[in-house]
């Protein structure tokens, strides 16, 4: 592939990932409330979902989804209901977040990984975004287009995981403050609910 195109793609990807958004906020919250390794697990789940979107683009399925309002709407509402379900579970949890990792029976690395993965996969806007974003960095003169799509997808995943994980480590440093501030723990819980509902609303109002 064209090195200049790859560098341009990587630069654009890093800038997009660094933009404040629901994914990075969700990772930060998980890291602060549960610890950095839980934030990294969430990041890994979100990033892994990109494999699905990349595959859909590589095999042209995303174009079908984009053109079919019915399919797009079905996937969109699955994503909305899942996010609202997570928000409801957070609402039902204790008002004060337990930051002692050893006592967390309901929070596991695998569970957060799965949540991140499902959240990403059930957001059709990600596929449509990639469908609009990727073609500008693909050059048919450099061989197999499908392979180029996968290279771009993996590169996007790598930089996103590095950035999200770095943010998790930074956010984890704030836990000492949170442990001593019960009111902030309650605020953080409601912030989680707001973020989840906010993502659901964003998906709902987004057009095809």
Q: What is the pLDDT along the chain (208 residues), one digit of tens a residue?
A: 678 888 888 888 888 787 656 788 788 888 887 888 999 999 999 999 999 988 888 887 656 656 677 766 776 787 678 778 878 877 876 655 454 444 455 678 999 999 999 988 887 767 777 776 777 777 767 777 788 889 899 999 999 999 999 988 888 777 766 656 667 667 767 777 887 787 677 667 755 4
Per-residue confidence (pLDDT) for residue 46, from 0 to 100: 93
Answer for the pair 150, 58: CB distance below 8 angstroms, yes or no.
Answer: yes
Q: Which of 58, 19, 22 lies closest to 206, judged by CA?
A: 22
Report d(CA 56, CA 127) in Å as an integer: 7
Per-residue confidence (pLDDT) for residue 72, from 0 to 100: 66
Report d(CA 116, CA 127) in Å as an integer: 16
Answer for the pair 36, 171: CB distance below 8 angstroms, yes or no.
Answer: yes
pTM of the model: 0.69
Per-residue confidence (pLDDT) for residue 89, from 0 to 100: 78
Report d(CA 185, CA 159) in Å as an integer: 30
Answer for the pair 51, 157: CB distance below 8 angstroms, yes or no.
Answer: yes
Per-residue confidence (pLDDT) for residue 103, from 0 to 100: 44
Q: Residue written as tokens 């797009």?
A: 72
Q: Residue 62 — left, alpha, or beta (φ > 0 → left; ψ -120 to 50 → alpha)?
A: alpha
Q: Which of 83, 99, 88 lies closest to 31, judged by CA?
A: 99
Answer for the pair 32, 188: CB distance below 8 angstroms, yes or no.
Answer: yes
Q: Residue written as tokens 């704030």?
A: 174
Structure tokens at 172: 């984890």
Per-residue confidence (pLDDT) for residue 102, from 0 to 100: 45
Per-residue confidence (pLDDT) for residue 127, from 0 to 100: 76
Report d(CA 119, CA 79) in Å as an integer: 7
Per-residue confidence (pLDDT) for residue 101, from 0 to 100: 46
């Amino acid at each position: 592939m064209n090195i200049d195109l790859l560098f341009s793609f990587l630069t654009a990807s890093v800038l997009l990932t660094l933009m404040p958004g629901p994914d990075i906020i969700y990772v930060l919250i998980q890291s602060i409330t549960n610890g950095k390794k839980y934030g990294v697990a969430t990041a890994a789940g979100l990033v892994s979902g990109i494999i699905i979107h990349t595959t859909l683009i590589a095999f042209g399925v995303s174009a079908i989804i984009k053109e079919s309002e019915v399919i797009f709407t079905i996937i969109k509402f699955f994503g909305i209901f899942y996010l609202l379900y997570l928000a409801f579970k957070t609402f039902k949890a204790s008002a004060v977040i337990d930051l002692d990792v050893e006592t967390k029976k309901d929070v596991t690395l695998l569970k957060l990984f799965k949540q991140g993965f499902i959240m990403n996969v059930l957001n059709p806007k990600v596929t449509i975004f990639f469908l609009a974003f990727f073609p500008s960095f693909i050059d048919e003169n450099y061989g197999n287009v499908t392979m180029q799509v996968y290279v771009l997808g993996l590169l996007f995943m790598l930089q996103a995981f590095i950035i999200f994980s770095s943010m998790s480590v930074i956010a984890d440093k704030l836990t000492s403050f949170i442990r001593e501030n019960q009111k902030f723990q309650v605020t953080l819980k409601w912030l989680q609910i707001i973020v989840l509902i906010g993502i659901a609303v964003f998906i709902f109002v987004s057009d095809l």
